[in-house]
Amino acid sequence: MAKIKYQTPSGMHDILSEDYAYYEKVYEIVNDIARFYGFGRIQTPVLEDAALFEKSTGATTDIVEKQMFTLKTKGGDELALRPEFTPGIARAYVQHGMLNMPQPVKLYTYGPLFRYEHPQAGRFRQFHQVDFEVFGEESPAIDAEIIQIFYAILKELKFSHLIIEVNSIGDSQCRPYYKKLLANYLRPRANSLCADCRRRMRQNPLRMLDCKEEKCQRIKAQAPQIIDHLCDSCKAHFKSLLEFLDEADLPYHLDPYLVRGLDYYTKTVFEIFSDRTVQVVDEQGEIVQRSALVGGGRYDNLLKILGGKEIAASGAAAGVERIMAIMKDRGTLAMEEAKPRVFLAQLGDLPKKKSLKILEEFRRAKISVAESLGRDSLRTQLGRADKLGAEYTIILGQKEVLENAVVVRKMETGEQETVKMENLVDELKKRLKR
């Protein structure tokens, strides 16, 4: 039997501490902003009943149809690794009777999501999103607030030139009518459409609108636009949303072709791009494709579908890896390595035994100390201290222990001084201040 080399499954990655710093930076900003806007943290299971996603995300969407990791429990239940956050959080809202809490209920979360798909730039089988959801509020103000939140998160992460694409895709009143209208427009032109769009025409004609094929582009340019066919309430909602965005100085762009792939959206849909979004450029230097950093919208029907009451809801999610890719690419954040300020070098058994206690004293004083208790040679330990970038090295040898003292060496200059053991932490505090 050949030796098996284990590695991460396709499209999944270990996050090593170097990269983890980026995740932490993102989450730190997200936590701050969430707190400010009154969002409470929720954490739902990574596994949910597979039917939850079929019902909410939509049984005919790619995500559910082809991209879900599903498994059967010993008891025979069909579970799925969550491919997105919204259904799980909506489920939690219904399950815990959150409609009895003061409305709206504002929740946010972040964590891993799973989609079985072919990995490529900005797309993985295990990836992370930051997600904000608001339940029980139908005002477009909350749609605008969510957009503002994600805009603020990206701004805090030093993104510039952000583009917010918005659209309204109507609701159960007006969308069926528009779908029919669009299908009627497309049917006589079916022969000029790409194969995918011919299929979409039957299943979900709306999806044809974000096709990138050139021949479809031409046809859709003449197609009826949903904005012209919204019912009165959707029209008013959309108009009001745009006013909110204007007032908030959020630089949006109206994209009548933005539809999004999930079944549950109603009215508002939006995506946020950066001009630096990982983009694909063809030979002419034209931007052919960009991938969204943030996507979201309103989903006023979802809660009812999940067996709750008719509760308005709105939310959005941002792809952490995509954000990180740009941060790294442009060097937005000069990530500081966590350098220890002090290194503790010890020589011999007795000093080694004193070391743990000294380390603990420094921890309480909140001064970072590194050590190399497994090594004995002073030369090696100083080498390590140097490599780690410590400002001072404390040298504790037999002689010092007997005299109840330590040697403090300033690494930059090599100056050394003997300090009494009981003054050690205070002395270093003083020196590190300078």
* Number of Cβ within a 10 Å radius of residue 76: 6
Q: Are strands 313-319 and 126-135 parallel, antiparallel or unpaired?
A: antiparallel
CA distance 204 to 399: 82
CB of 366 to RNA, least distance (A): 23
Sign of the C-alpha dihedral computed for residues 208, 144, 319 and 54 taken in this order = negative
Choices 58-66, 223-231, 243-251, 420-428 (CB under 7 A): range interacting with RNA: 58-66
Q: Is position 317 an interface residue for RNA (rule: CB under 7 A)?
A: yes
| Smallest separation (angstroms) from RNA to the CB of 332 | 17
The answer to whether the beta carbons of residues 168 and 268 sit under 8 Å apart is yes
- Cα(first)–Cα(last) distance of the chain, in Å? 62
264 annotated as a binding-site residue: yes
Name the segment binding RNA (CB under 7 A); options: 166-174, 183-191, 231-239, 371-379: 371-379
Interface mask toward RNA for 195-214; x: CB under 7 A: -x---x------x--xxxx-
Residue (50 or 262) nearer to RNA, CB: 262
Judged by CB under 7 A, the residue of 154, 395, 419, 424 near RNA is: 395
Using CB under 7 A as the binding rule, the residues of this chain from 69 to 108 that contact RNA are 84
* Minimum CB–partner distance for residue 186 and RNA (Å): 14
Considering CB under 7 A, how many residues would be counted as binding RNA?
A: 74
Q: Quote the tokens at residue 304.
A: 């009812």
185 carries a ligand binding annotation: no
**One residue of 39, 124, 135, 362 binding RNA per CB under 7 A:** 124
Give all strands of the β-sheet with 416-420 in edge-to-edge order.
369-371, 342-346, 392-396, 405-410, 416-420
Whether residue 289 is annotated as binding a ligand: the answer is: no
Tell me phi and psi for residue 212, to 5 degrees: -100, 0
The answer to whether the annotation marks 265 as part of a ligand binding site is yes
CA gap 298, 304 in Å, rounded: 14
Helix H or strand E encompassing 256: none
User: In the set 322, 344, 358, 424, which binds RNA (CB under 7 A)?
Assistant: 322
Q: Which one-letter amino acid corresponds to residue 66?
A: K
Rounded to the nearest whole angstrom, what is the least distance from the CB of residue 391 to RNA in the complex? 9
Each residue of 196-228: b (16+ CB within 10 Å) or e? ebbebbeebbbbbbebeeeebeebbeebeebbe
Of 397-426, binders to RNA (CB under 7 A) are: 397-400, 407, 409, 411-414, 416
Sites for RNA among residues 250-269 (CB under 7 A): 260-262
Member of 77, 78, 360, 386 binding RNA (CB under 7 A): 386
Backbone angles phi and psi of 168, in degrees to 5: -120, 135
285 binds RNA (CB under 7 A): no
133 belongs to an annotated ligand binding site: yes
The residue (of 8 and 172) whose beta carbon lies closer to RNA is: 8
- 8 A C-beta contact, residue 83 and residue 113: yes
Q: How far apart are CA 196 and CA 262, in angstroms?
A: 17
Beta-bridge partner residues of 287: 281
From the list 43-51, 140-148, 232-240, 373-381, the region that binds RNA by CB under 7 A is 373-381
218 is in an annotated binding site: no
Q: Is 129 annotated as a binding residue?
A: yes
As annotated, the binding site includes 84-86, 115, 129, 133, 260, 264-265
Annotated binding residues for L-histidine: 84-86, 115, 129, 133, 260, 264-265
